[in-house]
Amino acid sequence: EKGNYRHYMLKEIFEQPTVVAQTLRSYLRPAEERVALPQIDFDISAIDRVTIVACGTSYYAGMVAKYWFEQFARVPVDIDFASEFRYRDPVLNPGGLALFISQSGETADTLAALKHCKANGQVIAAVVNVPTSSMAREADLLLPTHAGPEIGVASTKAFTCQLAVLAALAAHLAVKKGRLSREEEAEIVSHLVETPAALNAALDHDDAIAAIAPLIVPARDVLYLGRGADFPLALEGALKLKEISYIHAEGYASGEMKHGPIALIDEHVPVIVLAPSGPLFEKTVSNMQEVQARGGKVVLISDAAGIAEAGEGCMATIEMPSVHPLIAPLVYAVPVQLLAYHVAVAKGTDVDQPRNLAKSVTVE
């Protein structure tokens, strides 16, 4: 039921604080400041390589996870689109963990990749939202997201719940591998626990984001820029805009701009910059200024400190709560989802059932 919401997508965006909290509840023990994964019947500390395979938005969640696994657990991570992975004859040495991420648990390419990894001696972990799905059944380690049914074709709450599970898994692996001290684990848990409140604070800016949508509606092309673990959010923002508003959009790592895409910049191509305060802020801002120097019109998404420092000269700014860089990818999902949503509504497209798309892609 949509309740008071005009679309399922909007309802699902607003459910995120609740469902992320619900998901985190099964992966954290906040009172003890510990990560707590379901019983694992293999030695996870022996994992020396992780292969992540997924499609679409779930793939972008995997891209964020790569940053976390490498940063916290110091385990090398390969990540592939399932459709590429299946046909490139990947090297799969024994002792590897193959991690599949899927809302539906039925995506044909991801499921086939899972079976391939199983046949090639990998331990199979699956982050899925549908507990009765094929992937859930095939996994050695099932890590459910508790997002509840996602009806809108554009994935929103499943994505942030995937990120919540993946952050907990990265921290757990790091603890088991002796890479995180007790204090560091406690600190990670405390940041994750703050996520639902931060998501609520992000949702409070819905009206301000709706007011910016008319600036994007006339565009034919839009660029999204981000760095580090927020780079996949730029890709996700662009995917959301493409799929529901039919405006062409591309996500780029902000440092890649000057290697080609900056040639596209003029006053007709809005550039959405994701730049939370943190170690990469100044770098992203200098890329943003390169865009502005060429007449580019920027929408800066940052926190109050970031906007105070770099907001001048932007076409618009969207203020996010000030959060630890670990949870920024979850929080910054909200403004890119809402911006795509309001642009699509303004264009009058079928938000919940965009043309040419199905909720679950069960054919190759």
Name the residues annotated as catalytic.
Answer: 359
Q: Which is nearer to ligand M6R, 12 or 303 (CB)?
A: 12
Q: Which is nearer to ligand M6R, 151 or 304 (CB)?
A: 151
Q: Which is nearer to ligand M6R, 110 or 284 (CB)?
A: 110
Q: What single-letter DSSP state applies at residue 332?
A: T
Q: Report the nearest approach of ligand M6R to the CB of residue 57 (Å).
A: 3
> What residue type is assigned to position 342 of the chain?
H
Chosen residue from 16, 23, 57, 195 binding ligand M6R by CB under 6 A:
57
Task: Report how far residue 102's alpha carbon sits from residue 151's, in angstroms, rounded to the nearest whole number.
Answer: 14
Chosen residue from 9, 28, 37, 55 binding ligand M6R by CB under 6 A:
55
Residue with tokens 């984001």: 209
In the region spanning residues 287 to 306, those forming contacts with ligand M6R, defined by CB under 6 A, are: none
Cα dist. 168→29, 231, 247 in Å?
11, 20, 35
* Window contacting ligand M6R (CB under 6 A); options: 44-52, 55-63, 91-99, 313-321: 55-63
Q: Which is nearer to ligand M6R, 128 or 265 (CB)?
A: 128
Kindly write down the DSSP assignment for every residue of 292-340, as one continuous string: HHTT--EEEEEEHHHHHHH-TT-SEEEEE----TTTHHHHTHHHHHHHH
Rule CB under 6 A: say whether 23 interacts with ligand M6R.
no
* Window contacting ligand M6R (CB under 6 A); options: 45-53, 100-108, 201-209, 312-320: 100-108
Q: Which is nearer to ligand M6R, 133 or 287 (CB)?
A: 133
Chosen residue from 102, 160, 195, 284 binding ligand M6R by CB under 6 A:
102
What SS3 state is found at 320? strand
Whose CB is nearest to ligand M6R?
56
Closest Cα partner for 317 from 288, 293, 280, 344?
288
Say what angle helices 16-25 and 157-176 make with each other, to 10 degrees: 30
Sign of the C-alpha dihedral computed for residues 19, 22, 27 and 28 taken in this order: positive
What SS3 state is found at 212? helix
Task: Report how far residue 211's alpha carbon sits from residue 345's, in angstroms, rounded to the nearest whole number.
Answer: 12
* Window contacting ligand M6R (CB under 6 A); options: 4-12, 15-23, 53-61, 250-258: 53-61
Chosen residue from 16, 51, 58, 195 binding ligand M6R by CB under 6 A:
58
Count of residues touching ligand M6R (by CB under 6 A): 16
* Window contacting ligand M6R (CB under 6 A); options: 101-109, 177-185, 246-254, 298-306: 101-109
Sign of the C-alpha dihedral computed for residues 18, 22, 25 and 28 taken in this order: negative
Residue with tokens 């990749």: 113
Positions of E strands within 34-158: 34-35, 50-54, 77-81, 97-102, 123-128, 141-144
Closest Cα partner for 209 from 64, 48, 317?
317
Q: Which is nearer to ligand M6R, 120 or 360 (CB)?
A: 360
In the region spanning residues 135 to 174, those forming contacts with ligand M6R, defined by CB under 6 A, are: 153-155
> What residue type is assigned to position 212 of the chain?
I
* Window contacting ligand M6R (CB under 6 A); options: 20-28, 98-106, 187-195, 318-326: 98-106
Residues in contact with ligand M6R by CB under 6 A are 55-58, 102-104, 107, 110, 153-155, 239, 243, 360-361
